[in-house]
Amino acid sequence: MSLVVVGSVALDSVETPYGKRDEALGGAATYASCAASLFGEVAMVAVVGSDFPKAYHDKLLQRGICLDGLVVLEGPTFRWTGVYQGDMGVVRTLNTQLGVFESFRPIIPDSLKRPRVVLLESIHPELQLEVLDQMERPELVAMDTIRLWINQKPDKVREVIRRSDLVILNDEEVRSITGENRLVRAAETILSWGPRNVIVKRGEHGASLYGEVGPFSVPSFPTPQVKDPTGAGDSFAGAFLGFLLRGGNLRSAQRIRQAMVVGTVVASFNVEELSIDRLERVTLQEIQERCRFIRESTAFDEVALG
Amino acid sequence: MSLVVVGSVALDSVETPYGKRDEALGGAATYASCAASLFGEVAMVAVVGSDFPKAYHDKLLQRGICLDGLVVLEGPTFRWTGVYQGDMGVVRTLNTQLGVFESFRPIIPDSLKRPRVVLLESIHPELQLEVLDQMERPELVAMDTIRLWINQKPDKVREVIRRSDLVILNDEEVRSITGENRLVRAAETILSWGPRNVIVKRGEHGASLYGEVGPFSVPSFPTPQVKDPTGAGDSFAGAFLGFLLRGGNLRSAQRIRQAMVVGTVVASFNVEELSIDRLERVTLQEIQERCRFIRESTAFDEVALG
C-alpha cells in the first residue's frame, strides 16, 4: 500500500448559511482519504460503529479506498454537530459524541504495515505513536494534530513531531505548539525538533512550506462560494500526499512544491459543497485548471534593478 | 514631478522589545516618500511645526525628496508615541499630539499640480478629496486610509475610493469598509465602486492584488528580525509606486506584479530597524536579491494531471 491514513470517520451534522445536512459522511480520515484517492491508492485505518450506514461504506469503496483497516465496533459511530456562521471563519461545535471512537486503538492489519507514506490525522498523540510502533518505518511520516492535544498533551504531540518527516498544521497550531508568534520562527522551531519539512496552513491566506525544500508559499484559490469549510485541511493533506506518491520520488523539491499547489486546489473544491460531495465529482482536468490559475496568479518576471 | 505623496510627517517615539527611540523621524508620508525615493523622484506634501528638527529636514532632502510641498507652521509637529510588545503584531498608542497637523489643509504648489501619480496617504478623507480637486487628474491616483476614517467618515472614504485607480488597504480595513469578511469578496466590492485595482496587505501573510491585472499574490519576505513594524504599509505603497514609475508604463501587468514584489521587499527592509534607518542604507542590489528569493519561493512547474 502506498498511503495509509489513520484518523476519524464521523457522521457530521453541519449547518452553514448555505444549508444544513444531518449525519453526512465526515471525519478527518474520510476527507484525507477521498482527496488522496483522486491520485492513487490509499487505505484508511479508522473505527466506525455498528450504525455506520452501508451507503457510506460503499461510497468509500467506490472511491477505491482500501477499507481493510476500517474496524466496525458494536455501538454508535462518532458524531459531530457544528454550525458555521457569517463568513464561516470559525466553527461552533454544538455536540460531540465520541461513540466507539472513544475506545479506538488503531490496529494496523499486516497488509498495511509497510506503506510508503502514513498520514497520522489528529487523533490522540499516544495513538499516533502506537500506529508508528506497529509499522515498519515508512519512507514518509506525515502528522497533523488539533489544539485540544496541543493543550492537553504537548509533550506527546512533540514526540509525534520528532518522529515525523512532515508536519502539517495551521497557523494557530504552529504558534501554540512552539510558543512562537511569528510563523517563520515557529516553523524553524518545529524543524529544529527533527522533521524535514513543515507546512503551515494559513486558511484564506494560503499555505507555506518550510524546511528542506522550502521556503515555498502558495496563495489560496479564490473559491467563488465557500459552502462548508469542514475538511479543508484534511483534504489538503490527503491530496498533497496522494499527488506526491503519484510522482514516485517523495523528496523531489519540484514535486513537493506542486503538491502544495494541488493540496490547496483540492481543498478549494472540497469547501464548495458539504461532506465529500464535491470531491466525489471533481476531475483531474478541473484540478489542473486551478493549478494553472494559481501559477498565473503568482508568476512574475525577474526584477532587475540598478 | 512623477510622484506626489500627501500625508503625515511625525516625530515618533517608539518602544519595541528591541529598543526605544524618542522623536524619531516618522509619519506615513515620510515612509512612503523615502521608499519611493529609492527608485526615482518624489515630492512630499505635508505639514510640520516650527520645532521640526533641521536634521530631519536635511535627511529628507538628502534622499532627494522634493520638499516644495512641505509647509512649516508655527507650533508643534505631530507627535506619536507607541509601544509594540511580544511579536509586535499589534501596536498600542500611548499618546497622539496632532499639533499643527490638526489644522493641516494641503495646499498643492503649482509645481506639483500635474504629477503622473499621487499617493493619498491616510489623512482625513475630505482632505484627500481637496488634494484631488487641486490637481489635474493624475494618470494614477492611489489611496490608503485607516480604521478611524472608515469608522467616522465611511461615505467620504468611499468617495475617495471612487475617485482612485488603486486602493491600498490592509485586510482589516478592506473588510470594514465593505462589510465583507472574505477578502476576495471584499476586494470585488471595492472594485465595483470604480478603482482599477485593489491591493490587500495581509501583514505576515503577504499581499494580494485584485482587479485589472490580478489576481496576483506575493508572500511576505521572512525577515529574520522585525525590530519595528511602523511604516511597513507606507513603505510598501511608496516603493510600489516608485518602482512602477521607473518602468514608464503604469498599466503594464508585468510591471505591476513586479511592483507588488518590490513593495513587499522594501517593507521587509523597513521593519528591520527603527524609523527610516534601514531605508536610508538599503541598496537596489539588496532589494533585487530579496525579489529573487521571493521568486524562488513561489515558483513551481506546471502541474500536469491525467
pLDDT value at A87 more than 80: no
d(CA B171, CA B206): 10
**pTM score of the predicted model:** 0.94
CA dihedral sign, ordered A248, A253, A254, A257: positive
The verdict on residue A65 lying in a domain is yes
Who has greater pLDDT, A85 or B256?
B256
> Taking 90 as the threshold, does the pLDDT of residue B248 lie above it?
no
Chain B residues with beta carbon closer than 8 angstroms to that of A181: 86-87, 89
Tell me the chain A residues in contact with residue B226 when contact means C-beta distances shorter than 8 Å. 182
Please indicate, yes or no, if residue B244 is contained in any of the structural domains: yes
First to last CA, chain A: 54
Tell me: the pLDDT tens digits for A2-46?
A: 999 999 999 999 999 888 999 999 999 999 999 999 999 999 999
CATH number for the domain that contains residue A288: 3.40.1190.20
Q: C-alpha B175: how far from its chain's center?
A: 18
Position A116 pLDDT exceeds 90: yes
Residue A182's pLDDT is: 86
Confidence of residue B86 (pLDDT cuts 50, 70, 90): confident
Q: Which residue of A has its CA nearest to B201?
A: A205
**Chain length of chain B:** 306
Which phi and psi (to 5°) does residue B89 adopt? -70, -30
| Dist. CA B44–CA B33, nearest whole Å | 7
Query: Domain containing B219: what range?
Result: 3-296
Q: For residue A71, report the phi and psi dihedrals to the nearest 5 degrees.
A: -90, 135
Which chain A residues touch B184 with a CB distance below 8 Å?
204, 222
Among A197, A303, A200, CA closest to A255 = A197
Provide the grid cell at B304.
Answer: 500536469
B48 residue type, one letter: V
Q: Do B291 and A302 touch (CB under 8 A)?
A: yes
Average pLDDT, chain A: 95
**d(Cα A52, Cα A59) in Å, to the nearest integer?**
12
pLDDT at B225: 83
| Spatial separation of the C-alpha atoms in residues B15 and B85, rounded to whole Å | 8
Q: Is residue B40 part of a domain?
A: yes
* A249-263, B82-96, B123-137: segment of lowest average pLDDT: B82-96
Which residues from chain B sit within 8 angstroms of residue A292, using beta carbons? Answer: 302-303
CB-count exposure of residue A235 (10 Å: 0-12, 13-18, 19+):
buried
Task: Report residue A285 as a C-alpha cell.
Answer: 482536468
Q: What is the ipTM of this complex?
A: 0.92
Within a domain: A102: yes
Per-residue pLDDT reduced to its tens digit, B183-224: 999 999 999 999 999 999 999 899 999 999 989 999 999 987
Q: Tell me the β-bridge partners of A15.
A: A20, A83
- What residues of chain A lie within 8 A of the CB of B218, using their CB? 298, 300
Cβ–Cβ below 8 Å for A306 and B298: no
Residue A164 lies in a domain: yes
- Which among B86, B215, B305 has the least Cβ separation from residue A222? B215
Chain A to chain B, count of Cβ pairs less than 8 Å apart?
122
User: Using CB atoms, which residue from B87, B301, B305 is nearest to A182?
Assistant: B87
Strands (E), chain A: 3-6, 10-16, 19-26, 43-49, 66-73, 79-84, 91-97, 117-120, 140-143, 166-170, 197-201, 207-211, 216-218
Per-residue confidence band for A270, with pLDDT thresholds at 50, 70 and 90: very high
Calpha distance B59→B24 (Å, rounded): 12
Give the torsion through C-alpha atoms of B237, B240, B243, B248, to 10 deg: -110
Residue B258 is nearest to which of A202, A295, A303, comparing CB atoms? A303
Find the helix or strand (DSSP H, E) in which A186 lies.
Answer: helix A183-192
Q: Indicate whether A274 belongs to any domain.
A: yes
Compute the nearest-CA separation of A287 from chain B (Å).
8
B102-131 pLDDT, tens digit per residue, is 988 999 999 999 999 999 999 999 999 999
The beta-carbon neighbor of B217 closest among A260, A298, A305 is A298
Closest residue in B to A209 (Cα–Cα): B297
Q: Which residues of A touch B89 (CB under 8 A)?
A: 181
Asked if A291 lies within 8 A of B303 by C-beta distance, the reply is yes
Span B145-153, average pLDDT: 95
Q: For residue B213, list chain A residues with Cβ-Cβ distance below 8 A.
A: none
The whole-angstrom distance between A228's CA and the closest CA on chain B is: 14
Of the two residues A98 and B86, the one the predictor is more confident about is A98
Q: Test A257 with B222 for CB contact under 8 angstroms.
A: no
Residues in chain A: 306
**Which range among A53-62, A98-107, B268-277 shows the weakest confidence by mean pLDDT?**
A98-107
Contact A295 B298 (CB under 8 A): no
Q: How does pLDDT run across B50-75, given as a tens digit for each residue?
A: 999 999 999 999 999 999 999 999 99
Is B298 within 8 Å of A181 when comparing Cβ atoms? no
pLDDT score recorded for residue A62 = 96
Nearest CA-CA partner of B117 in B271, B281, B259: B259
Q: Which residues contact B139 (CB under 8 A, 6 or more apart)?
A: B116, B117, B250
Q: Grade residue A169 by pLDDT with cuts at 50, 70 and 90.
A: very high
Decide if B261 and A300 are in contact by the 8 Å CB cutoff: yes
Whether B298 sits inside 8 A of A218 (CB atoms) is: yes
What percent of chain A is predicted at pLDDT more than 90?
Answer: 91
Sequence-distant (6+) residues with CB within 8 A of A42 are: A1, A2, A3, A4, A5, A33, A36, A64, A65, A66, A238, A242
Give CA separation, B189 vs A1, A220, B197, B225, in Å: 48, 19, 11, 36
Angle at B228 between CA B224 and CA B233, to 5 degrees: 95
**Signed CA dihedral, A57, A270, A167, A92: sign only:** negative
CB pair distance less than 8 Å for B305 and A285: yes
Q: Is residue B302 part of a domain?
A: no
**Chain B neighbors of A300, CB-CB under 8 A:** 216, 218, 254, 257-258, 260-261, 295
Domain contains B306: no
For B171, the closest chain A residue by CA position comes to A205
Q: pLDDT over 70 for what percent of chain A?
A: 99
Peptide bond into A215 cis (omega under 30): yes
A280, burial (CB in 10 Å: exposed 0-12, middle 13-18, buried 19+)? middle
Rounded distance, CA B202 to CA B169, Å? 9
CB contact under 8 A, B291 and A284: no
A-chain residue closest to B254, CA distance: A300
For residue B43, CA distances in Å to A99, B1, B34 come to 69, 7, 10
User: Looking at the 3D structure of chain A, how many domains does it have?
Assistant: 1
Q: Closest approach of chain B CAs to the CA of A218, in angstroms?
A: 7
- Residues with Cβ within 8 Å of residue B281, at least 6 apart in sequence: none
Chain A residue with Cα closest to B287: A305
* DSSP alpha helix (H) spans, chain B: 28-37, 54-62, 125-134, 147-152, 154-162, 171-178, 183-192, 232-246, 253-270, 277-281, 284-296
Handedness of CA B272, B277, B281, B284 (dihedral sign): positive
- Strands of A130-227 (E only): list them: 140-143, 166-170, 197-201, 207-211, 216-218
Smallest CA–CA separation between A271 and chain B, in Å?
14
pLDDT exceeds 90 at position B182: no
